[in-house]
Structure formats: structure tokens, C-alpha cells
Structure 1
Amino acid sequence: MKSLRTLQIHPFSHWSLRSKTLLIFMLLIAIPLSLQGIITYYDFSMSVERRTADYSAQLVGQINRNLDRTFMEMQRLSLMPTYDPGVLGILRKYSGPALANQRPAVEDLEKMQLYIAGMTYNRPEIRGIQLFAGSGYTFSNVDASAIRSFTDVKREAWYERVKQADGAWVVIPKHRPSYYLDNGGQDYVSVARLIREPNTNEGLGLVKIDLKEDVFRQIVSNVKFEEKGGLLVVNSRGELFFQQGSGGLTPEMMDELRRTTELPQASNVRHMNIQGKTYLAIVDYSDYSDLKVISFIPVESLLKETKDLRNFTFGIGLICLISAGALATFFSYRLSRPLAALKNKMLRVEQGSFKQSVKVESQDEIGQLSRSFNRMVEEIDRLVHEVFVIGLREKEAELAALQSQINPHFIYNTLESINMLALKRQNDEVSDMVSALGRLLRYTVGRNARLVRLREELESTASYVKIQQLRYGERLKVMIDVEESLLGYEVPKLLFQPLVENAIYHGIGDREEGGTIWIEAVRFEAELLLTVRDDGKGMSEDELQQLRQSLAAPQFSAAETAGEHGLALKNINQRLVLMYGERYGLHVDGSPGEGTAFTITIPIREEGERDD
């Protein structure tokens, strides 16, 4: 038991009051400062991210709208040849495969060049507009020395998506056209569509508008992004159209960002983790052009200002904590000094020196405690002398009690003589009654232990029952129902005999037909339930209520003191409460004509557990 109690001691129980006070002061200062710093840092960080995200969302939205206007104009240009009869007539003339490698007439070339030149007028962002006839000839505004005259467009990588569009306009991502002779390794973004015969829907050729990368640079030139951020323009397939800045991303990381499926086909702001680095990605998607403008900013660069705030807050908090620690040390010393003096005086009193007193320095609780200590020590010193005198008198009383022990032995010897005489005269009933009375007396006054085995308590009760059965004869029946495994448990002494006596005298004793008393014991988890019940006249609800109130009352009333049975029941209940606590005791229940039941609940003491 001692080891268990030691384990349950709180780890701070050995700390001095000064240490505990200092710890409390430090916690009261450190916790609010830490919470304030954390909340301020978090709120400022979130505010910076929100402002940056809102600003970037507006920028990428504006960029995407400008791109939509640009591609809308390119789409309109690509549609113009399909409404021009002259252009359709020339394309119709050179649409047959049999005319492959045959140059058009000079007149047709001049008409087409003038038409295409008009389309590209005042549009420097257009590298070239090509009209591919069915024969493979290429009509273009580009100088003849810089472009191939004949091109098999069906072999181009981009042709398949134009064919699948079936006459609708298509935006082709960055690619390197094979028909430019002076390409110089440049890539272009293009808008293209098939040209069909209006009446028969037969293919006449293909129009393709190649755009320089400047078209994107001009749109984003007036937009200011974060210093370490970057911008991507891709389509829903992840194909690259334009890139500005890298934001610290390697080419491999850029490819991963471009291909990632985490970016939805809708406007969105989210955090992305790319190879262990966190980025704030702002996406704006256009249904018209199927383009996504992605602005990505390293979160680390966004939080640069917040880190400065965090360091400043940490420095201020550390200075405040050191200052508070010094003040807490000073005040904890001032508060604990009189208590330390009081503790030293109490240690001397504990060692037996009762001539101690402490100086009262204040009128607060510590001063009141000091005054109470002085009065207590004076009273203890006085009581010690009185106890010494009382102790001498108790020694004399013990001698008298020793002499009085002769009386029980005299009674036992007398009962034994009566028993021998009854046996000699063959009066078995008198012999049984005297033997039972002897056993009952030995159990009642022969031992001073508060706890006995359940077996011993039942044997003593059986002796009492035997005496009563000699008196009542067949009218009294007593049934004991207890499992063998419960007989070794300890119970308070003299529990059953008062309850059986109460059942006989108040339940079935006056009834002509007699009755039965049941004594039962049952284990329920860690508790033992002991029951004494009878089938006598029982009790009304008012009588039960009065008995329960009597059992719960702390003091004995005059009526209880005058009557033996009420006193015995209350004595049992108070013994149980004192031994086991308020939750245990004697419970009574019954009804008129149905008998009365007394139930006792006590905790089970396993072998090895004893009262100190």
C-alpha cells in the first residue's frame, strides 16, 4: 500500500513553495507572451498571403482577359479567308493533288500576297500568316527567300489537332515550324483552322497564323510580380505557351508544375509542394482559349517580413521574460520567507521542543497563520502535561481491567458445569442450549478483533439461531445460502446476530405460524453483498422511511437508546460507515405482509490487506 501511495504523489509535491511561486509567475508571463507572439505571427503571415493572393489573382485574371482579346482577334483573322470569294477561288484552283509542285500564276500570287499583307497590317506580333493550298503551295506574307514554297502540312506534328477541330479554330502551343528557312531556332504560338468549300464542305486548304513570343511579353510587361515569383501560360494539356521567371524552380520542377494534375480547370488559389518547397500558386483559367495563367510565388519569400516580425517579437518577449523572472524571484522570496521560518519552527516542535514561537510581521493570511501557530504550540505544551497525568491513570485502569477478565472465565466454567450436569441427567436440549450460549459468549467477548472471517461470523450466528430454535421450535426456520469460496473473506464482527434477532422479534416472533429467515452472501465485482431477510409481517412505507432516517442520523435519539433493537441497527450502520466510508452501510427494504430485507454492502479485502 505504501508503494502505491508513493507512486501517486505529484512530481511537484517535493518542490518548495518558493519554487512553485516562481514557476507560476513565469508561466503566467511566458504563456500569454508566447500566445500573443504566435497569434500575431500567424495572423500577419496569413494577412500577407491573402493580400498577395488577391493581388496576384487580379493580375493573372487581367493577363488572361488580355490574352482572350488577342486570340479573339487572331480567331477573327483566321476566319476572314473563308468569307472572301477571291481567296476561295484561288485555293479552289490549286486544291487538287495533281497540281503538286506547280507554282501558281503571277496574278494569283499577287492577289494572295496583297490579301495577306492587309491582314498583317499594323500587327507586329504576327510573324507570318500562311495559307496552305491543297496542292501544298504556301501563300504567305513572309519573304519568299525565308519560307518554303511547298509544304506537306499533313506531316507536321500540329496538323492532327487542326484536322480534329474540323474547321474550328485551334491554338497550337510553342513549336518550331519546318517551313521557315531562317527560323534560327525560334518557337512560335499559332492559331490555325481548316478552310472548306462553303457549299460542299470539301477541304480547300488551311490557314495558320504564327505569333511571336512578344505577344505575351507585351501583355505582362506592365504587370509587376513578386521578385522571386514566376509566371506560366499553359493549356489544359499542360503544354507550355509562355514562361517568365523561374521563382527558384529548376527546369525539372517547372516541368512537374506544368504537368501536375493538381491545378484545376478553373480559377483557384492554393499551396503546392514541389520537391519539398512550398509555393503559392494562383491559377486563372479561360474557357475561351483553354489557357491557364499560373502565377507561382515561393512562400518563403512572402514570409521574409513576417520572419523579421517574429524575431523582433521573440527578442521583446525574451527581455520581458528575463525582467519578469527577476521580479518573480524577488516577490517569491518575500512571500515565502515567513513561511520558511514557520516551517523551521514546526520542525522543532515535531522533534519535541514545544517552547517555540514565530514573529508576526504582517496582518495577512501568513500573519494569521503565525499567530495561530503560536497559540497552537502553547496549547500543545499544556496538553502534553495533562496527557502525562492521564497516562498514569490509564495504567491503573489497565490493571483493573486485567483483574476483571476473571469474570468471563468464571462464566465459561459455570456454563461448562451446567452442560456436564445436563448430560449426566440426559437432558440434551439443556446441554445444546448451554453449549450454544458458551460458543456465542466466547465469540462475542473472547476476541477484540474488529474483522473476522465470514465463516466465523456464520458459526456464531448459527449458535444464536440454535438457542432461539430451542425456544420457538418448528415455528422458526433459518436458511443459510453462502458459497464456499466466500467464507474466507473478512467482515465486521457481530453483523448477522443483531439482524437475525431483529427479524425474530419484530418480524416472525409474534406470528402463530412462525416464519423463515434467509442469510445470504453474494460477491458482485469488488464488493460483498450480505442479506438477512424474512417473510414476516414486514413494514409500511412510513415505518421504512422513519427507520432509514434513524439510520442516517448522526446522533442516537432517546427512543433508540431506550430500545435495544433500534440501537443495534444504527450501531451496525455507523460501524460500516466509519470502517468503509459513506457509500457503504445498512440498507433496509420491505412491504406489509411480505417481510423485511436488510442488505449490507462492504468492499472485499483480498488476502494480505489489513487495517493499519
Structure 2
Amino acid sequence: MIQAWKDLRFSAKLTLIFFLVLSLTIGVITIRQSYSSFRLLEEKSLEDMENLAEQVILNFTQTLEDIENSCYVAMISREVPKNMSGSATYAVQKYTLATMISSATSYDYIMTRNSQRQLISTDFRNDMPTEQRSQIEADCRTILEEHQENTLGSCQWIRMDSGHVYLLRDVYDTQPLRHMGVIVLHIRQPFFAASSASENTGFLFLDKNGDFLTYTGTELPEGMTDEVIADAQAGALSSKNNWSGGEYFAVSVAGSQWSVIVICSTQSYRTGCRQIMQNGIALGALGLLAGMALVYILTRSVLKKLGEIKESMKEVANGNFDSRIEVTDADDISQLALAFNDMSQRISELMAELVEKERMRSNAELQVLEYKYRALETQIRPHFIYNALEVISSMAKIKGETEMIDIVQTISRYFRNITQSTTDQFITVQQEFDRLQDYTRIYQFMHGDHLKTVFSARETARNAMIPTMILQPVVENSLKYGLRSQEEDSEIRVHAYTQDGKLLITIRDNGKGLTQEQMEKLEKGETAESSSSGIGMANVRQRLKLIYGDKSSISFRNRTAGGVKVTIEIPFTYSEPDSLWELEQMDDWSDLDELW
């Protein structure tokens, strides 16, 4: 399983991870939002039910008061209390009670007990079933028998086991005020309709003692009314409220005389919850699709950039170091592309530098071969030169020409030193100075005491290794262009010293100096003039470049007092490098101690 995951392409991994994370996120958000919506819907439904219950209890109380008042007005207007005193016959009393009933009244049957404890009742409606008539008459007799006490004019609403509702009240005569009896009225069903009730909602009305009076609204399942009333009387109604677990939800609101229990079917709530869940799933699916589309776009963009980087890497691997990636953005992949471009640029520069180094190495090896070839030539021919110089020296001795002898011996010693050192690529500073002293002495024979040459070196610099014949072209250039006229004194000073791990050699003269054009040519590595000395100076610069690379330098400066100062700067070492490139590969000149 793990290996299969590792073998998946990056795009597949990225898409799968995005899909899982996005699905989990949208799922969690959908569930949380749905749960919050459920809670809000439940709270809103409960709040609506409570508001509805408060309004219904007010309407119900007002309806009962209207019935009570209409009953009282009807009794007074028809002099029912006076007739119940016994002054009126049974027929008159019955007729008077019958006139209180009409199609507009809320009651359809009346029974009274007058002051003589005589029961008088009205006739039943013709459309009323016989069983119902008997039940109503029996209920009225029972009520009158159970209520013998004087209620002082108050009204009582009674619900019998048969389900019929009755209004009981005392009858008083006002002139004078005296108790005349009791009257019971059978209330039509339904006598109260909650017109503002919503669909699937019912209302149970209880008196202040908790006794059930009547019900209106949607039809309840069998036994539901008794169960709700029992819970309300036991104070357990709120603990059984469960919108998601039951088919009905009940809320009780109490008034001054009456309380109402609003029973609402949870069908609409569950329908709303299902709608919320469906909407949540639909929105979640849309969000998932939108997220996947965005992931696809982002993944495609990332893979496109990675593909460009991959192709460019292939080109670099095939040797095309000029391959570059076009970068237009500033995201992480674009930064990677910029880094790749920098890497390609650096590789290209390193390759160019490597090619240049190889070219310089090849040139250096060719020069070494040429140098050895010339050295072999020099070793083949010196005997003739030495024999000729010996003949001249012998003739000078015979003639007593001591100055001639000195000149010949100096020239002979100079050539012998050159011949001996031609096979060496490096010699010490002191050896180079000794040979240059013979070389300048030859010029002194021509200029006499007007030419003065001084060679000096710090003790640490005397045995430092330098390339063979590296100073001779510079000194030759000073002798050729730095000398004044035959009548003027000329001076050439060569000095060697060490500083910060470098060997510095200065050659200065007191001649006329260099023109600006000559100075610029020499600084650029060009020959100052088309002459052997100019070519020699160019060779010095080229040899230093070949041997030491960027670790060496040669500079030219006109002196304020007159003349030119040439400064050669090379790495300071007491031993000959094993190769021409050993010094160039050193990054820290303090590591020269390893070569000493």
C-alpha cells in the first residue's frame, strides 16, 4: 500500500490529497452548519409555538368570558332569576330558559335548579341523537347534585367523562340581592376554534387545577391527549420534548385562569431538516466540484511549470547550458525556476571558465614544450659561443686588456647561467637577481658610471620561487626606455619583499616615463610598441596569467620624480609548485604554509 502510494505520480498524489482534505473540510462544515440550522429551526419553531400559545390562551380566555357574559345578559333580560323564585309556573320557567337558546348561542341545552330545588330543563334539538340527549341530561343532573355549595356568582367550566363541556354558575336576583338557584349550560362543540393555529398543530386547554377542558386543532393519535395531560400534571412535559425522536412536540403556556398545551407535529420540522440536509449536501457537492476544478487548474499550472523545468533540465543534461525558463509569476514554482535559471547561468559560466582554463593549460604546455625545445637548442650550441668568448678573453690577456677580459667573462657567465637554468621552470629570487646583475653589467660597460643598478630583497623574499626569466624582459624594457642620455645619470632599482602572503617585486627607473597611450596598452596586456621589448612585456603578462591565473598581477605607474615603476605581484612560496595550476586552485593564501 505504501509502495503503491510512493509510485503514484505527483499530480495524482496532489489531486487525491486535495480531494480528501477538501471533502473532509466540506463534510465537517456541512455537518456543523446543518446542526446549527437544526438548532435554529428548533429554537424558531419553539419560539413560534410559544408565541402562538400565548395568543391562543388570550383568545380562549376571551371566548369563555364572552360566553359567560352572554349567558348572564340572557338571564337578566329574560328575568330568569325572578322566575326561579317560585312566582312563575314550571311552564313559564321552561319557556323562559328556552328563549335563551338560539342558533347563535354557544350552548344548546339548559338545566336549572330553582330555590324550591326543582329541576327545570329545556328541550333538546331535534337533530340531536337520543343517546346524546340522555348523556347530556345525566351529566347536568350529576353536576347539579355534586355542586350544592353557593359559588357566590362565579362561573365554573366542567368537562365530564363523556367529553361534553358545561358551564355552571349561581343565579342571583338583584332586587333584592338573593340566591335563586343554579344553572347548567351544555356548550356546543366545538365552541372554540383556534383560527390562527398552524397546520399539524393542536391545543389542549386545562383549568387552573390542571383538569382537561377541551381540545381543538389537528386530530391527535389515540391516547396522545391523556399522555400529554398526564405529563403536564406531573411536570414532565418539557423533558419529553424531542424534535427528532418523536412525532409530536408539546409546549405549555399558563394564563391567569387557563393553561394551554400546544401540540405540534414534528413532520414539518423533519421535512425542514431534510431540506436543510439536502441543501447542505447539494452546496457541499457544488463546493467540492468547485474545489476540484480549482485544484485541477492549480495542479495543471504547477505541473506545467514543473514540466518546463524538467525539459530544461534535460536540455542542460544534454549540454545546452543556455537553456532558460521564462518566469512571469512570483510563486514558489517560479522561484524554483529562477533558481534553475541561476544554476544554468552559473554552469554556463563555469563551463566557459573551464574551457578557458583548458585552453590556457594547453597554451602553457605548448610553451613548456617550446621552452624545453629551445633549451635543448641552447645546450647544443653553447660550446661554439663559449670557445669564441675564450678566444677573445685569451687575446685580451695577451694584450693586457683587463677591461675587455672583465666584459668577456661577464658575458660568458651570463650565458652559462642562462644555459644552466633553461631546464628549470622556477628559480629563487636571488638566482634571478644574480643573473640580472650580469645582464645589467653588460649595459654598464656601454654607459659607464652614468648607469647605476641596485638589486635588493628582504630576507624572507630572497629564497622565494619565481618563474625563470620573468624579470629579464621588464629590466630590459627599463634599460631600453628608462635610460637617459649618455651624459645623464640613470638608475634602475629592483626590490623584492613579502606582504600578506604575496611576493612583490618592483622595478623602477628614473627615465622619461610612459605616455598615456603606452600605459593603456600595457594595462590591457597589449605591447607598447612593435618591438622585441614590447613583445617581451606581453609575454611576461601572459606567463603570469598562465601560471598563476587571477592570483598574479603586473602594473605600470609613472613616478612623480620621473620614470616608471613596475610592480609584479605573485603568490609567495618557497617551493616549486608540482603543476602550473596548483597555486590557482588555492582559495586561501594562508594555506601556502603547506607548500613551504
- Superposition TM-score, scaled by structure 1 size: 0.41
Structure label with greater radius of gyration? 2
- Superposition TM-score, scaled by structure 2 size: 0.41
